[in-house]
Amino acid sequence: MASARRIGAADAKNRGVLIDAAEQLIVDEGYAAVTSRRVAEKAGLKPQLVHYYFRTMDDLFLEVFRRYADQGMAAHQRALESPQPLWALWRFGINPAASRLTMEMAALANHRKALRAEISRYAELFREQQREVFVTALERHEVLSDEVPPVVWSILMTGLSTVLMMGEALGVTAGHTEALELVERYLRLMEGDPVSTDEDGEAHQRRIEHSAPLAPELDATTTPSTASTQ
């Protein structure tokens, strides 16, 4: 039986740099571009360090996903605590860079059972957290009836945002403006006009930067369409 190989510390700076590099490669070029040599090159480190911190490339993919998912969970928590949780959740859902990473991870999961299991586990956590956001909003504003359970509203909103962002990434935009306007109309009924924050502005700028290569029109459709809905 082979002895266990030493693995670098989970909190090491270089480990985080390698995860950053792998994530950027996935977003820019797709998961097929992620090799130990490419990751090391992008990180500015020696190739052997990749396998010092990660036993296999599958382990690296798992860590990329877990970090991304944990950041999403934190964003959901901030949405839950926000004065306008539904607007915050909607903005989170229409982030094109996040959508691109999700698409690549989902494709990779078709060939990686461990990643598929991890995506499924986090998806359940996300859905419960989203349900809590809707429960909070519905109780706070008492705008919509209880004919539609909060979890269904969550699925409808997050499902729509996923479809829109996937379409944008592929250059398919027919009906997107009308769909965005419809969602925003209901959000205004429940939470009023969106209150802009510095964080929103930074997030929007990141959306513009990330979306430019695949969807040049994205910056005009992923923020509240005040011009067309007021």
- Whether 195 has a pLDDT exceeding 60, the answer reads yes
Helices in 1-56 by DSSP H: which ranges? 13-29, 36-43, 48-53
Residues 15-33: pLDDT tens digits? Answer: 999 999 999 999 999 999 9
111 and 39 housed in the same domain? no
Q: Is residue 1 part of a domain?
A: no
219 touches 211 (CB < 8 A): yes
The pLDDT value recorded for residue 4 is: 59
Q: Evaluate whether residue 189 is within a structural domain.
A: yes
Q: Give the count of beta carbons closer than 10 Å to the beta carbon of residue 54.
A: 22
Q: How confident is the model at residue 169, as a pLDDT?
A: 78
Q: Is the pLDDT of residue 203 over 60?
A: no
For the stretch 73-120, pLDDT in tens is 888 788 778 888 888 888 888 877 777 888 899 999 998 999 999 999
CATH number of the domain where residue 11 is located: 1.10.10.60
Better-scored residue on pLDDT, 153 or 45? 45
From residue 160, give the alpha-carbon distance in Å to each of 1, 157, 213.
50, 5, 22
Amino acid (1-letter code) at residue 52: Y
In a domain, 15, yes or no: yes
Asked if 191 contacts 183 with a C-beta cutoff of 8 angstroms, the reply is: no
Shared domain for 162 and 74, answered yes or no, is yes
Residue bearing the bigger pLDDT, 2 or 17:
17
List, in order, residues 6 or more apart from 42 with CB less than 8 Å away: 21, 24, 25
Alpha-helical (H) ranges within 82-149 are 85-93, 96-109, 113-141
- Both 42 and 120 in a single domain? no
CB 225 within 8 A of CB 181: yes
Q: Is residue 2 part of a domain?
A: no
Are 121 and 209 part of one and the same domain? yes
Domain span holding position 50: 7-55
Q: DSSP character for 49? A: H
Please indicate, yes or no, if residue 188 is contained in any of the structural domains: yes
Does 27 share its domain with 85? no
Residues 130 and 163 in one domain: yes
Shared-domain flag, residues 30 and 103 = no
Question: Is residue 113 a part of any domain in this protein?
Answer: yes
Q: Do 35 and 75 lie in a common domain?
A: no
Last residue within a domain, chosen from 19, 34, 55: 55
CATH no. for residue 124?
1.10.357
Distances (CA, A) of 159 to 36, 94, 151, 164: 34, 11, 12, 9
Number of domains the chain is built from: 2
CA dihedral of 21, 26, 27, 28, whole degrees rounded to 10? 80
- Claim to verify: residue 137 and residue 44 sit in the same structural domain: no
Q: pTM for this one?
A: 0.72
Q: Is residue 223 in a domain?
A: yes
Q: Are residues 189 and 91 in the same domain?
A: yes
Q: Is residue 88 part of a domain?
A: yes
Q: Are residues 64 and 32 in the same domain?
A: no
Q: Are residues 49 and 105 in the same domain?
A: no
